[in-house]
């Protein structure tokens, strides 16, 4: 049977810029990735958006009354799904604050790094492809891992997989016998160069076990009631406006509402004090406690999705929230089983998200085979001594 060919429309960028030379330079640089439509200011941009022409990204010159543009942009709910990237001369711009929050996903300086912007653009194109087709069609920007690091990963992961193959076969059989469902669980993650891949684990939860939580409120140690999830999985704002989701997030193999996602996370937190989590299988408890469920990630390392040492592979909804160009540098390093922040947190109660991202960026700037060896040794030492920490 002949495989079906998936085609996608060009990724269209609305570039708000009155300098024709800047527009032509952008078109020439990124013509292999995008189709560019240019308008001279924010009001022309609103007029163009009102024509309902398809636009996948707005690139906006911050010198053109950004506040006025955003106020007009927010007037229509249908526009909220279009991401905005600012080009700005501001050194520190908090796009999580008003008026940017929920609309502006990134801010780049006017003299931005071409490679950094290309990687960010590549991720947005992959995200759109996945939302429209259920899989990535666009080929991601290639970011190469150092040869020495890659050779070490291949050699060690292949050797370990060969040595533990009997154990993997036994665990796979036990997972299948323990409860109905697949042997492996694949979760979408973002790694080096914003490349999207499936990170594999042995399945440790019953299929559909999340549905059990709705009836478990009485067993919660905090005895809180979990808010029911609407059947259409939309938040109140979208349901009342009778519109599709206006704040979509890209999570694993489906699109979800950001508001609804945060509500679900809060609901799950209510159940964190269960004596017995109803979602985890009997075997799953053992696999988690011994970290055996993580062993299939050796296959990810062998494939080149990950490395033994790197930055934590992020879920897609987290990756797209790292909007600062400085933070995005963390994706210049491979995803890893362990990394700088894991060994740095040893002896501390907690490393904040801000500190962890800064450590990720630091690793991306200076990683080498020698650095990896130091981190691996410190990781093994931390695991060995964790009972005494």
pLDDT tens sequence across 95-112: 878 888 878 888 889 988
Of 152-161, 187-196, 210-219, the one with minimum mean pLDDT is 210-219
Asked if 283 contacts 203 with a C-beta cutoff of 8 angstroms, the reply is: no
Nearest to 47 by CA among 58, 55, 39: 39
Q: What are phi and psi of 8, to 5 degrees?
A: -130, 150
Residue 8 has pLDDT above 50, yes or no: yes
pLDDT of residue 228: 47
pLDDT band at 134 (very low <50, low <70, confident <90, very high): low
Write the pLDDT tens digit of every residue in 311-328.
988 887 777 666 555 667
Domain ranges of the chain: 11-133, 147-205+280-388, 209-270
pLDDT of residue 199: 93
Is the backbone peptide bond immediately before 99 cis, with ω within 30 degrees of 0? yes
Residue 385 has pLDDT above 50, yes or no: yes
pLDDT of residue 138: 47
pLDDT of residue 249: 55
Residue 171 has pLDDT above 50, yes or no: yes
Q: Average pLDDT of 280-299?
A: 90
pLDDT of residue 227: 46
Give the sheet arrangement for strand 11-16, strand by strand: 34-39, 11-16, 57-61, 84-88, 104-109
| Comparison of pLDDT for 381 and 157, the residue scoring more | 157
| Comparison of pLDDT for 234 and 95, the residue scoring more | 95
The Cα 104–Cα 58 span in angstroms is: 9
pLDDT of residue 248: 57
Six-digit token string for 301: 């390392």
Which residue spans within the chain are E strands per DSSP? 11-16, 34-39, 57-61, 84-88, 104-109, 184-190, 196-202, 248-251, 254-257, 306-309, 314-315, 335-338
Hey, is 254 helix, strand or coil? strand
pLDDT of residue 226: 43
pLDDT of residue 1: 40
Cα–Cα distances (Å) from 217 to 271, 273, 275, 278, in that order, read: 8, 11, 13, 12
Contacts 24+ apart (CB under 8 A), 141-148: 141/193, 141/194, 142/193, 143/119, 143/192, 143/193, 143/195, 143/331, 143/332, 145/192, 145/304, 145/307, 145/334, 146/368, 146/369, 148/369
The backbone region for 195, taken as left when phi is positive above 0, alpha when psi lies in -120 to 50, beta otherwise, is beta
pLDDT of residue 264: 59
CATH class, 11-133 region: alpha beta
Q: Average pLDDT of 12-18?
A: 95
| Comparison of pLDDT for 268 and 124, the residue scoring more | 124
Residue 238 has pLDDT above 90, yes or no: no
pLDDT of residue 260: 62
pLDDT band at 66 (very low <50, low <70, confident <90, very high): very high
The Cα 73–Cα 47 span in angstroms is: 10
Arithmetic mean of pLDDT over the chain: 78
pLDDT band at 55 (very low <50, low <70, confident <90, very high): very high
The backbone region for 23, taken as left when phi is positive above 0, alpha when psi lies in -120 to 50, beta otherwise, is alpha
| Comparison of pLDDT for 255 and 313, the residue scoring more | 313
The Cα 8–Cα 82 span in angstroms is: 17
pLDDT of residue 126: 76
pLDDT band at 195 (very low <50, low <70, confident <90, very high): confident
The model's pTM is: 0.58
Q: Locate tokens 């996370």: which residue?
A: 265
Residue 137 has pLDDT above 70, yes or no: no
Provide the percentage of residues in the chain whose pLDDT is more than 70. Answer: 69
Residue 389 has pLDDT above 50, yes or no: no
pLDDT band at 231 (very low <50, low <70, confident <90, very high): very low
pLDDT of residue 79: 76
Spatial neighbors of 164 by CB under 8 A, at least 6 apart, are: 295
């Amino acid at each position: 049977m002949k495989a079906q060919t998936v085609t996608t429309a060009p990724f269209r960028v609305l570039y708000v810029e009155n300098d024709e030379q800047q527009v032509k330079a952008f078109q020439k640089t990124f013509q292999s990735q995008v189709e560019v439509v240019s308008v001279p200011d924010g009001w022309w941009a609103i007029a163009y958006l009102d024509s309902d022409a398809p636009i996948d990204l707005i690139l906006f010159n911050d010198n053109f009354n950004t506040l006025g543009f955003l106020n007009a942009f927010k007037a229509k709910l249908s526009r909220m799904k279009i991401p905005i990237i600012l080009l700005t001369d501001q050194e520190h711009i908090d796009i999580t604050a008003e008026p940017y929050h929920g609309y502006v996903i990134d801010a780049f300086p006017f003299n931005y790094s071409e490679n950094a912007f290309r990687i960010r653009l590549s991720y947005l194109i992959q995200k759109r492809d996945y939302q429209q087709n259920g899989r990535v069609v666009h080929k991601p920007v290639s970011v190469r891992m150092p040869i020495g690091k890659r050779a070490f990963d291949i050699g060690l992961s292949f050797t370990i997989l060969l040595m533990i193959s009997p154990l993997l076969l036994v665990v796979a059989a036990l997972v299948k016998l323990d409860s109905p469902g697949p042997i492996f669980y694949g979760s979408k993650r973002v790694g080096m160069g914003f490349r999207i891949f499936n990170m594999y684990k042995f399945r440790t939860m019953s299929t559909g076990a999340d549905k059990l939580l709705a009836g478990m409120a009485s067993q919660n140690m905090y005895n809180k009631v979990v808010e029911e999830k609407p059947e259409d999985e939309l938040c109140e704002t979208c349901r009342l406006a009778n519109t599709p989701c206006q704040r979509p997030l890209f999570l694993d193999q489906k699109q979800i509402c950001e508001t609804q996602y945060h509500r679900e996370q809060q609901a799950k937190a209510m159940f964190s004090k269960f004596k017995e989590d109803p979602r985890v299988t009997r075997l799953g408890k053992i696999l988690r406690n011994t970290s055996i469920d993580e062993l299939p990630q050796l296959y990810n390392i062998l494939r080149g999705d990950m490395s033994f040492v790197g930055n934590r592979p992020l879920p897609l909804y987290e990756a797209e929230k790292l909007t600062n160009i400085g933070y995005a540098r963390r994706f210049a390093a491979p995803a890893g089983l362990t990394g700088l922040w894991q060994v740095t947190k040893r002896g501390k109660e907690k490393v904040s998200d801000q500190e962890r991202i800064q450590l990720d960026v630091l690793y991306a700037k200076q990683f080498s085979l020698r650095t990896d060896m130091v981190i691996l040794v410190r990781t093994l030492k931390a695991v060995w001594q964790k009972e005494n920490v």
